[in-house]
Amino acid sequence: MAVKLLLENAHVEGIRYYEAYRRTGGYRSVEKALKMTPEAIVEEVKKSGLRGRGGAGFPAGMKWSFIAKPEGVPRHLVCNADESEPGTFKDRYLMEFLPHLLIEGLIVSSFALGSNATYIYIRGEYAWIPDILEHAIDEAKANGWLGKNILGTGFDCEIYVQRGAGAYICGEETALIESLEGKRGNPRIKPPFPAVKGVWDRPTVVNNVETLAAVVPIINMGGDEYAKIGVGRSTGTKLISACGNINKPGVYEIDMTISVEEFIYSDEYCGGIPNGKKLKACIPGGSSVPILPANLLLKTAKGETRYMNYESLSDGGFATGSMMGSGGFIVLDEDQCVVRNTLTLARFYRHESCGQCSPCREGTGWMEKILKNIEYGKGKMSDIDLLWDIQRKIEGNTICPLGDAAAWPVAAAIRHFRDEFEWHVLNPEESQRRNYGLAHYADAREIVAA
Amino acid sequence: MSVQFNEKQLTEFNRLVARYPEGKQKSALLPVLHLAQESFGGWLSAESMDYVAELLRIEPIEVYEVATFYSMYNLQPVGKYLFEVCQTGPCMLRGSDDIIAYIGEKLNIKPGQTTEDGMFTLKTVECLGACGYAPMMQLGKHYREHLTKEKVDAIIEECRNNAAVNN
């Protein structure tokens, strides 16, 4: 049975409310942390090896240690709840069903960073969740965990929930800060980093929902114990939101030692692929990470078992590997068309480009148009090379990583499924009637035959 | 519709502004625009935006540039019921193309259009973070998930019934 640190009590009746949450051991980490020094808390988080759960995987304790502490200037913690990466819906689950876990993590983290006013920036479409969070905040306040002089320590803390209004880019931390200031979500040039100059020019730390929730078990069990779970630099547990062509879509907590094959086929997790279909491909970490064909997904290029952790998923680099990313796990069965899937993602990134940098603003539009032509039987062979050329000219040439996020799915689709693109070009009529199927990597059938 | 918050809406406005430091009231712009859209008929007219600018003591252009950036602000009137159907990859894999086509057929409108009686608007949107419960759409404050043709029929029926009761 897998270790569960975040979702252990997710099915306790009434866990959304204070009484049940407290009864199952909630807010113990606040009692413990407020007796420690802020520096000692940062040290525990460093020892835990916790890596940012939003997608970048940057060590959280190290990020915290960068925060500037100029005399007399307030500092802020901002919780990034702008979950918008296609395939990702884990933070929603945490906030909807375990709001107090996030609030608890926010109180401890606010104390560690010296934030007296902490903001949760939540995507606007999750319109019913702010009510749940604000109710939890009110309950926490009524029970003395928030407000003035918490537990008699002299520490004051308020948490506010701000709704965004529909913009993927606001998940990028400097765009989020701009949005929190009431502006368009145009990312800022770094440096200065938010840790020095963030919201209202004050030192700011922006962390993902799951990262901040993970602070609770880290404080409760200690950083060293947390670091023993998992493998290598993939410590602790990770929430995976699984979707696409699987029997049991949903949010799963894994301890990063299980294999990708087990995750897809075991009844404890995705429960296999519906209707006896075969696995064709998978985007394992949210739409921006490279798509992998079944054979490279279940085994690395060296023929070793691939595991659900940061290192194993990226084994082989972008040539034959992918990334853990946000944990948005998207499965495609044999009936799916990689060209069409890539088109919907290209459309997504064109729609979400903020328009600030020309390679991204123009390039995402061109990629969508070319993909549309190929998908609808109007493509030329040279279009495939043109697509490759455009994505290369976007990658690395923009202020923020949205450009890279738009380029990678197109690059990986061409890299691994070029034959499918060519088939569309060569068979413009047939490709309107049927999908290409599995044809180009026969060995995958054997791998997934079980 | 007169563009002026009533007492209850003004109380909410003041609650929103109070979250930010003194002099940083512009930070409340996104939530205040949501409030204005809900209060003034489901969309933001130039008049509504000017009113928000005045309340927050900022220039109207600061409001326009934000209202035009974020996809949730409607800059044109929309139907009483706005169907925002997700069409991104994970929903597409689970049949969102068919659902969008079915709604369009059923209501006799294309994405981006409103029915003649002003009851329904169909809009395609990009990933709403419900990929495991696809296909899906946003209707008002909530999500409708695991959509099938039968479910779409029932939702349309439900909207028509609600409209009849409320009139």
CATH number at residue B162: 3.40.30.10
CATH of the domain at B19: 1.10.10
| Percent of the residues in chain A that have a pLDDT greater than 90, as a whole number | 96
Does residue A5 sit within a domain?
no
A369 and A294 in one domain? no
- Does the beta-carbon distance from B127 to A244 stay under 8 Å? no
Does residue A2 sit within a domain?
no
Mutate to test the interface with B, among A119, A125, A246, A338 (most CBs of B within 10 A): A125
Q: What residues of B are in the A interface, CB distance below 8 Å?
A: 19, 21, 24, 26-31, 33-34, 56, 58, 62, 65-66, 69-73, 87-90, 92-94, 125-134, 138, 140-142
Domain that holds residue B158: 81-166
For residue A445, pLDDT over 70 is answered with: no
- Model pLDDT, residue A236: 96
- Does the beta-carbon distance from B90 to A127 stay under 8 Å? no
| Domain boundary residue, one of B21, B40, B67 | B67
| Domain boundary residue, one of B67, B90, B107 | B67
B85 and B161 in one domain? yes
Q: How many structural domains is chain A composed of?
A: 3
Looking at per-residue confidence, does A194 or A2 come out higher?
Answer: A194
A58-96 pLDDT, tens digit each: 999 999 999 999 999 999 999 999 999 999 999 999 999
A346 and A296 in one domain? no
A355 and A328 in one domain? no
Q: How many structural domains is chain B composed of?
A: 2
**Which CA distances in Å does A205 have to A154, A294, A300?**
22, 38, 36
- Does the beta-carbon distance from B24 to A200 stay under 8 Å? yes
Does residue B72 sit within a domain?
no
- Does the beta-carbon distance from A243 to B131 stay under 8 Å? yes
B87 and B130 in one domain? yes
Identify the DSSP state of A277: P
Rounded Cα distance between A80 and B7, Å, is 32
Does residue B76 sit within a domain?
no
Of all residues in chain B, the one with the smallest CA distance to A248 is B132
In this structure, which amino acid lies at residue A30? V
A248 and A200 in one domain? no
Cβ-nearest to A84 among B34, B62, B129: B129
Residue B156 Cα, gap to closest chain A Cα (Å): 21
Does residue B147 sit within a domain?
yes
- Does the beta-carbon distance from A347 to B72 stay under 8 Å? no
Does residue B158 sit within a domain?
yes
Of all residues in chain A, the one with the smallest CA distance to B22 is A200
CA atoms within 13 A on the CB side of A117: 13
- Does the beta-carbon distance from B141 to A128 stay under 8 Å? yes
CATH of the domain at A173: 3.40.50.11540
A402 and A343 in one domain? yes
B87 and B48 in one domain? no
In chain B, where do the E strands start and end? 81-86, 120-125, 137-139, 142-144
A160 and A30 in one domain? yes
- Model pLDDT, residue A171: 97
First to last CA, chain B: 17
pTM, rounded to two decimals: 0.96
Does residue A18 contact residue A139 with C-beta atoms inside 8 Å? yes
**Structure-block tokens of residue B102:** 């079915």
Domain that holds residue A211: 18-228
A86-122 pLDDT, tens digit each: 999 999 999 999 999 999 999 999 999 999 999 999 9
| Backbone φ, ψ for residue B24 (5° rounding) | -110, 30
CATH of the domain at A254: 3.10.20.600
A349 and A205 in one domain? no
A331-381 pLDDT, tens digit each: 999 999 999 999 999 999 999 999 999 999 999 999 999 999 999 999 999
A57 and A202 in one domain? yes
The position carrying tokens 């023929």 is: A303
A261-309 pLDDT, tens digit each: 999 999 999 999 999 999 999 999 999 999 999 999 999 999 999 999 9
Could you give the ipTM of this predicted complex?
Answer: 0.97
- Does the beta-carbon distance from B131 to A241 stay under 8 Å? yes
Residue A205's SS3 state is strand
A263 and A347 in one domain? no
Residue A313 Cα, gap to closest chain B Cα (Å): 20
Rounded Cα distance between A80 and A40, Å, is 24
The position carrying tokens 């998930």 is: B145
